[in-house]
Amino acid sequence: MTADIPDLDRFEDIARRTVEDFPPPFRSAARDVLLRVTDWPTDEMLASLEIPEPTGLTGLYEGIPMTHKSVMDMAHEPDTVWLFREPILHEWRARGDVEIDDLIAHVTIHEFAHHFGWSDDEIASVAPWQY
């Protein structure tokens, strides 16, 4: 486990580099999604997902997955991937068996996979991650 605790800027840098490493068709589609990194999810986010503890939400995709979009849809809000620094750091400390950069990349990939239309089960079948 690394001793350096990354700040919000470093989290965003790792996430953006992760997106830039996506295969070309995914990379170009991912560039249309806003990426937001903040310390904690909002109370509204937690309530809407019925998550009682803020450490229980490391990332969130807000938007309409590409597989459900229509040219007739009028977007009210831009698609957004959120990464939550403190919950990710909490998981990293609790696990003790993964590098922080790898965990940030994993959460980034997981949330962008939702944008591409993948369910949690589909993501887990392709990229298993032990929680």
Contact 27, 20 (CB under 8 A): yes
Among the CATH numbers 3.40.640.10, 1.10.645.10, 2.60.40.10, 3.30.2010.20, which is that of 11-64+79-126? Answer: 3.30.2010.20
Which residues of the chain are modeled with pLDDT < 50?
1-2, 131
> Which residues are CB-neighbours of 33 under 8 A, at least 6 positions away?
63, 78, 79, 80, 81, 112, 115
Q: What is the pLDDT of residue 72?
A: 65
| Domain definitions of the chain by residue range | 11-64+79-126
The two three-digit tokens of residue 71, written as one number: 């040219």
User: pLDDT value at position 2?
Assistant: 45
Q: Residue 45: what pLDDT? A: 97
Q: What is the pLDDT of residue 95?
A: 92
Q: What is the pLDDT of residue 122?
A: 74
